[in-house]
C-alpha cells in the first residue's frame, strides 16, 4: 500500500503563487504585444522581470499558499472533479480575502492594485494556478486502497 504524498501536495501548492505570477506577467506581455503593438525585447531584463514577479508573488501569497497546502494534504485530495472544484474555489477565495486583509492592514488609501479583471484578478490567478497544480500533484485514487478521500 502506498503512502499519500503529503509533501508533494504541500510543496506543489506552495509554488502556486509563483506559477500565478509568471502566468500573469506572460499574459500582460502577450497582451502588450498583440493589443498595444509594443515591441517585445527578449533581453535578460525580461527574464529578470519574470523572476522578480515570481519572487514577489511568492512572498506576498506564501502564507495562504502554505496553509492551503496543509489543508489539501490533510484532506488527502485525489484527482477528481470534486477535488478540482474544491481547490479552484477555495484557493480563489483565500487569495481574494488575503488581498483584502493585507490591503486593510496596510492602510493604503489607493486600494489593492488590480490591473486586469478588477478585484477578480487574484481569484482567477489563484484558482487556475491551483487547478493546474492539482492536475500535476494530486494522486489518482486507484493507487490507494484504504484511504478516505475527498474528490
Residue 93 has pLDDT above 80, yes or no: yes
pLDDT at 77: 92
Q: The C-alpha cell of 133 is what?
A: 497544480
Please tell me the distance from the alpha carbon of residue 11 to that of residue 138, in angstroms, as a whole number: 11
Q: The C-alpha cell of 12 is what?
A: 506543489
List the single range of 12-16, 53-57, 135-139 with lowest mean pLDDT.
Answer: 53-57
Count of residues in the chain: 151
Most confident of 92-96, 122-126, 134-138: 134-138
Please tell me the distance from the alpha carbon of residue 104 to that of residue 96, in angstroms, as a whole number: 12
- Per-residue pLDDT, averaged over 84-96, amounts to 93
Please tell me the distance from the alpha carbon of residue 127 to that of residue 29, in angstroms, as a whole number: 21
Residue 12 or 21, more confident: 12
* pTM given for the model: 0.78
pLDDT at 39: 60
At 13, give phi and psi (nearest 5°). Answer: -75, -20
Residue 109 has pLDDT above 70, yes or no: no
What's the pLDDT tens digit per position in 117-133? 556 788 888 999 999 99
Closest CA to 27 of 94, 125, 123, 131: 125
44-53 contact pairs (CB < 8 A, 24+): 49/25, 50/22, 50/25, 50/26, 53/21, 53/22, 53/24, 53/25
pLDDT at 36: 66
What's the pLDDT tens digit per position in 27-76? 877 777 777 666 666 666 777 777 888 888 888 889 999 999 999 999 99
pLDDT at 116: 47
Amino acid at each position: 500500500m502506498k503512502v499519500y504524498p503529503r509533501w508533494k501536495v504541500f510543496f506543489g501548492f506552495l509554488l502556486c503563487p509563483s506559477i500565478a505570477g509568471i502566468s500573469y506577467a506572460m499574459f500582460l506581455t502577450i497582451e502588450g504585444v498583440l493589443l498595444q503593438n509594443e515591441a517585445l525585447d527578449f533581453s535578460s531584463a525580461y527574464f529578470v522581470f519574470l523572476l522578480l514577479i515570481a519572487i514577489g508573488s511568492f512572498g506576498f501569497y506564501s502564507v495562504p499558499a502554505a496553509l492551503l497546502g496543509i489543508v489539501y494534504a490533510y484532506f488527502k485530495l485525489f484527482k477528481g472533479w470534486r477535488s478540482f472544484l474544491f481547490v479552484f474555489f477555495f484557493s480563489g477565495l483565500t487569495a481574494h480575502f488575503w488581498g483584502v486583509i493585507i490591503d486593510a492592514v496596510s492602510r493604503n488609501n489607493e486600494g489593492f492594485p488590480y490591473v486586469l479583471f478588477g478585484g477578480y484578478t487574484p481569484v482567477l490567478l489563484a484558482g487556475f494556478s491551483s487547478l493546474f497544480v492539482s492536475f500535476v500533484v494530486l494522486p489518482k485514487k486507484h493507487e490507494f486502497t484504504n484511504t478516505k478521500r475527498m474528490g
